[in-house]
A and B are shown apart, each in its own frame.
Chain A
Amino acid sequence: MSWTINVTIERHIVARPVTTDRYTVEIEPHRNILDVIEKIWAEQDRTLTFRHGCHHASCGSCAIVANGREVLPCIVHVEDTVKKDGGTLALGPLRNFPVIADLVVDMEPLFAVMEKAGMPIVGPADPLPGQPEDDYNAFENCIECGICMSACPVVATDSEYMGPAGLAAVYQSINHTADASERSRLLDMVDTPSGIWRCHVAYECSELCPSNVDPAGKIMTLRRMATFRRIRRLLGIKEKKEATHGIDTTPVKQ
């Protein structure tokens, strides 16, 4: 049984004012939002620009805002977002990024921070929630989709803020090196007003991250490390050569 839904899409086209285009789409409610977009592109409007890759939440390239919330349209069902036959689906590009065209944004602000963090993209990841450590050891969880940056209230007003994904990446880098000076350098990089201290603990990033990275949790852990370091310095306690900040630093088997 198909639903008929009303889709609105923000159109960003170079040198033209931003408009909202309306489409009526017939689609089964269990299909994904990306299917809706592709259907519009295939049947109604070949000028629609959007980005996608893997169709299964691995590449992170399709992230958009659907009905006010950041999602990966490739894994979110129409029925979960639109709720009823005849309902509305409002689509727009991610927030807090420069828009290139329609639903496509420039990811530069995210990648710039990732690069500073040493690009821990393919490092070993945290175990999946609820799974014992050795059972599943996925590759790096973060898929660089930018959802957290788009959802963050601080990124929205302060473009200097490193953002959830970048800070989580620094955390990963710190966590995966046992070299004390490198850890200290990385911690210095985020122990700044534009780093971990800019966060206001709204937790929207962790709420919306499609890949269980829990960036907010990582930021809070970085803060604990920075705070403890600060207190140690205050008390004149020398840094241990291999300061672990209470974190397991055993290098992960490759």
Chain B
Amino acid sequence: MASTQHPSNSSKAYPGHVGSRPRQQMLRWVDPRHKSAGYLGFIFNRVAGIGLVLYLYMHLIVLSTLTRGPEAWDGFVAFAKSPLILAMDIVLLAGLLGHGLNGLRVALVGSGIAVKQQRTLLNGVLVLAGVLLLIGGALILVL
């Protein structure tokens, strides 16, 4: 038998407390290891959701260049066609599709409407999001 001390936990031993729960770990929900599909969907939706909120504000700020006349806007349009931005657009599209379609599933299941079909719905969401992402992504690159 060999023994190693936990690097992370070494300072806080559990003093055998009764009736209280261990201190909650705020970022526990984001750990995808050993999780099943539904849980991964939950992580995805939340991470994508946070990303989309940030994007929303970025988008609103960027759109203000429209108020500064044609030069400002057309300058931005030219910038937005750089390969890096196009790649990020594809990530954005993936986030939108995933969050939207999975959100639809969560809305249906979570309102008690399609409780029994949650597995089927999850697979459907994956397939549909994949197909739409392929089409949409290709269009971003072609246009």
| Chain A residues engaging chain B, CB cutoff 8 angstroms | 10-23, 44-45, 67-69, 95-101, 106, 108-109, 153-154, 156-159, 199-204, 207-208, 216-217, 220-225, 227
Contact A157–B24 (Cβ < 8 Å): yes
Query: Which residues from chain B contact A96 at a C-beta distance below 8 Å?
Result: 21-22
Mostly, the A contact residues are: mixed
Contact B39–A44 (Cβ < 8 Å): no
Query: Does B38 belong to the interface (CB within 8 Å)?
Result: yes
Query: Which residues from chain A contact B116 at a C-beta distance below 8 Å?
Result: 217
Query: Closest approach, in angstroms, between the C-beta of B114 and any C-beta of chain A?
Result: 9
Pick the residue among A13, A14, A220 that contacts B109 (CB under 8 A). Answer: A220
Beta-carbon contacts under 8 Å, B1-33 to A: 1-6, 9-11, 13-22, 24-26, 28-29, 33
Assuming A12-B13, A153-B28, A220-B111, what are 19 further A-B pairs, CB within 8 angstroms? A10-B6, A14-B15, A15-B15, A17-B5, A19-B6, A20-B5, A22-B2, A22-B4, A44-B1, A95-B28, A154-B29, A157-B28, A159-B21, A202-B39, A204-B35, A204-B38, A216-B38, A220-B110, A222-B112
Contact B115–A98 (Cβ < 8 Å): no
Contact B21–A153 (Cβ < 8 Å): no
Query: Which residues from chain B contact A159 at a C-beta distance below 8 Å?
Result: 21, 24
Query: Which residues from chain B contact A154 at a C-beta distance below 8 Å?
Result: 29
Query: Closest approach, in angstroms, between the C-beta of A151 and any C-beta of chain B?
Result: 8
Interface residues on B, range: 35 or more
Query: Which residues from chain A contact B35 at a C-beta distance below 8 Å?
Result: 204
Pick the residue among B34, B109, B111 that contacts A69 (CB under 8 A). Answer: B34
Query: Once the chains are docked, how many angstroms separate the CA of A106 from the CA of B15?
Result: 12
B35 nearest CB neighbor, chain A only:
A204
Query: Which residues from chain A contact B21 at a C-beta distance below 8 Å?
Result: 96-98, 109, 159
Query: Closest approach, in angstroms, between the C-beta of B57 and any C-beta of chain A?
Result: 24
| Chain B residues engaging chain A, CB cutoff 8 angstroms | 1-6, 9-11, 13-22, 24-26, 28-29, 33-36, 38-39, 41-43, 46, 106, 109-113, 115-116, 118
Query: Closest approach, in angstroms, between the C-beta of A94 and any C-beta of chain B?
Result: 11
Query: Which residues from chain B contact A13 at a C-beta distance below 8 Å?
Result: 13
Contact B1–A18 (Cβ < 8 Å): no
Query: Which residues from chain B contact A99 at a C-beta distance below 8 Å?
Result: 14, 16, 22
Contact B111–A224 (Cβ < 8 Å): yes
Query: Once the chains are docked, how many angstroms separate the CA of A20 from the CA of B130?
Result: 42
Query: Once the chains are docked, how many angstroms separate the CA of A108 from the CA of B21?
Result: 9
Query: Which residues from chain A contact B3 at a C-beta distance below 8 Å?
Result: 11, 19-22
Query: Closest approach, in angstroms, between the C-beta of B20 and any C-beta of chain A?
Result: 6
Pick the residue among A15, A44, A109, A202 that contacts B41 (CB under 8 A). Answer: A202
Query: Which residues from chain A contact B110 at a C-beta distance below 8 Å?
Result: 199, 201, 220, 223
Query: Closest approach, in angstroms, between the C-beta of B16 and any C-beta of chain A?
Result: 4
Pick the residue among A16, A153, A225, A227 that contacts B39 (CB under 8 A). Answer: A153
